[in-house]
Structure 1
């Protein structure tokens, strides 16, 4: 999902997000990373995630709190311990799981389990076959995965 915004809107969005960020260092780098992130993620998702992150690091020594640019470049809004249960947040996380063939994270988060398929005898590249099976499983079960996550994590 590509989100088109004017530079002025993104600057305003950054200031909104930055107001919630728990470590006010390297603002310029954070702003550049935010501009990149906002191309694909909505402000509500980023703001909800940074608010959750701020709560998890409240009271920590600042040396253990990620700089804003590090948090953004690492797509930390998708972290399971802070990702808000919104359709957009889940879609972004699920797309990342699909890209990385990560069915384990899906099982951990929603309980739906992937089972490795039987490998046909004529398959030359077993690894490629298995990775494709993981992606196919994620696509096939997309709606069920999203529904289960929303049921478990929605406020």
Structure 2
């Protein structure tokens, strides 16, 4: 029994608010990918950044902020860490003297390529628990939900 005299009940996820369900789903997936990342020595955010930079060579820190959903000081710290590991280099922006462009080094590109399949591993685990139609519906509904709150 807990201090109120009532036995604690197991949390019933299906009765939680949508925000908590989405957060719980995200954290569950994030923990799974973090386990895959331990052997390669990357954090989830570092891994995500390498993927984004791989797809958008020359991206600027201000462009990374909304994609990674982190603030500017965190982007700076993240880039410092990735640069220290030899995964990225920053170069002066050709048309904006106040900005830097971020590029993967050969080592960073190899790391991004060698770990890109982690996303597929997670998606396959999710697909194992639902039908193909359910999976596609889940994706479509999440995309729709995010679109409802996007800032113009």
* TM-score in same-fold range (> 0.5): no
Structure 2 length normalisation: TM-score? Answer: 0.27
Larger radius of gyration: 2
Structure in which a larger fraction of residues adopt strand: 2
Structure 1 length normalisation: TM-score? Answer: 0.26
